[in-house]
């Protein structure tokens, strides 16, 4: 049952965070939208008619994370679900990518989740349960050329998610991972500014609505992990079984960035 659930979402000013907030509201949940850009945040929140909240939040700022989560609990009484969605990527060759880029992607995509999960945990423990949903990626299971920095952050997210899931289950707290393939969102404008990758995969891209629907289903069923779309889920499993063979057979197809 999703109705009435208080759902805290990071990076909700665009893309799947924003669309998920809208869908959750349409299903009767209470989304709390957070993001760095206040103008975009207010615009995203304004399109939601049901009960909701919004707070400025940069997930790289530990003090702000703690303060905002505390404030949200005080305003809404609890946080039932935390969706760790904030993230970004740059698709570039390892040789061309500055060291700082690796660090900044890790700071947001991985450490941002650590910060938010640690801040929400005492409240979820106190209320006797909860759900943490981490938006990872297909790149968390399969590294392709030009994703050394980004894929490493998503591999880290999945490592974190799997360990947290076992640790927190006895406290009634579910921990899930959502691993989408490419999605048509502003993410790709930053990751691939020339649009070469986006053009080459246009026919395979997921819509943000499709991913938001999968996230809502994960919340309803407390599913531990979901890979989408189906072709990617099958591909990831085959790749996991025969990685070197798959590199040989599908290397050219996987090298599209």
Torsions phi, psi for 32 (to 5 deg): -115, 110
Site for ligand NAI (CB under 6 A): which residue of 85, 144, 147, 161?
85
Residues in contact with ligand NAI, shown as a per-residue x/- string from 6 to 45 under the rule CB under 6 A: ----xx-xxxxx-----------------xx---------
Q: How far is the CB of 184 from ligand NAI (least distance, A)?
A: 7
Nearest to 131 by CA among 97, 92, 99, 172: 172
150 is catalytic: yes
Q: Please report how close the Cβ of residue 167 comes to ligand NAI at its closest, in angstroms.
A: 22
Instruction: Kindly state whether residue 215 participates in binding ligand NAI, applying the rule CB under 6 A.
Output: no
**Cross-strand partners of 226:** 178
Binding ligand NAI (rule: CB under 6 A), the pick from 6, 64, 137, 152 is 137
DSSP-derived secondary structure letter, 9: E
Quick one: DSSP state of residue 160?
H
**Separation CA 33–CA 68 (nearest Å):** 11
Identify the active-site residue in 110, 150, 197, 204: 150
Out of 87, 130, 149, 229, name the contact with ligand NAI by CB under 6 A.
87
Residue 158, interface with ligand NAI (CB under 6 A)? no
Contact call for residues 6 and 80 (beta carbons, < 8 A) = yes
Residue 81 β-bridge partners: 7, 131
Give least dist CB 56 to ligand NAI, A: 9
Q: How far apart are the first and last CA of the chain?
A: 40
> In the numeric block, which tokens belong to residue 242?
């025969």
Please return the burial class of 163, using the count of CB atoms within 10 Å of its CB with bins 0-12, 13-18 and 19+: exposed
- Contact pick of 187, 212, 216, 256 for ligand NAI (by CB under 6 A): 187
Nearer to ligand NAI, 37 or 126 (CB): 37
The smaller minimum CB distance to ligand NAI, of residues 186 and 195, is found at 186
Smallest gap from residue 189 Cβ to ligand NAI (A): 8
Query: Which long-range contacts (C-beta less than 8 Å, at least 24 apart) are formed by 166-169?
Result: 168/121, 168/132
Q: Give catalytic residue positions.
A: 150
Q: Which residues bind ligand NAI (CB under 6 A)?
A: 10-11, 13-17, 35-36, 57-60, 85-89, 108, 112, 135, 137, 180, 182-183, 185-188
């Amino acid at each position: 049952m999703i109705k009435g659930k208080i759902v805290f979402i990071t990076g909700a000013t665009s893309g799947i965070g924003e669309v998920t907030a809208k869908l959750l509201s349409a299903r009767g949940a209470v989304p709390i939208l957070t993001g760095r850009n206040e103008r975009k945040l207010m615009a995203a929140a304004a399109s939601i008619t049901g009960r909701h909240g919004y707070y400025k939040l940069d997930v790289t700022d530990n003090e702000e994370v703690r303060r905002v989560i505390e404030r949200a609990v005080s305003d809404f009484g609890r946080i039932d679900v935390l969706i760790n969605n904030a993230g970004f990527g740059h698709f570039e060759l390892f040789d061309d990518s500055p060291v700082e880029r690796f660090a900044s992607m890790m700071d947001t995509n991985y450490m941002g989740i650590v910060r938010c999960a640690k801040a929400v945990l005492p409240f979820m423990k106190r209320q006797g349960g909860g759900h943490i949903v981490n938006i990872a990626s297909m790149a968390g299971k399969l590294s392709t050329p030009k994703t050394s920095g980004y894929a490493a952050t998503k591999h880290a997210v999945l490592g974190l998610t799997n360990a947290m899931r076992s640790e927190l289950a006895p406290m009634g707290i579910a921990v899930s991972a959502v691993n989408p393939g490419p999605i048509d969102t502003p993410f790709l404008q930053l990751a691939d500014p020339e649009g070469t990758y986006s053009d080459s995969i246009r026919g395979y891209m997921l819509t943000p609505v499709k991913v938001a629907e999968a996230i809502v289903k994960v919340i309803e069923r407390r599913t531990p992990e979901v890979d989408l779309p189906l072709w990617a889920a099958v591909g990831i499993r085959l790749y996991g079984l025969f990685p070197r063979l798959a590199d040989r057979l599908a290397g050219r197809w996987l090298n599209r960035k």
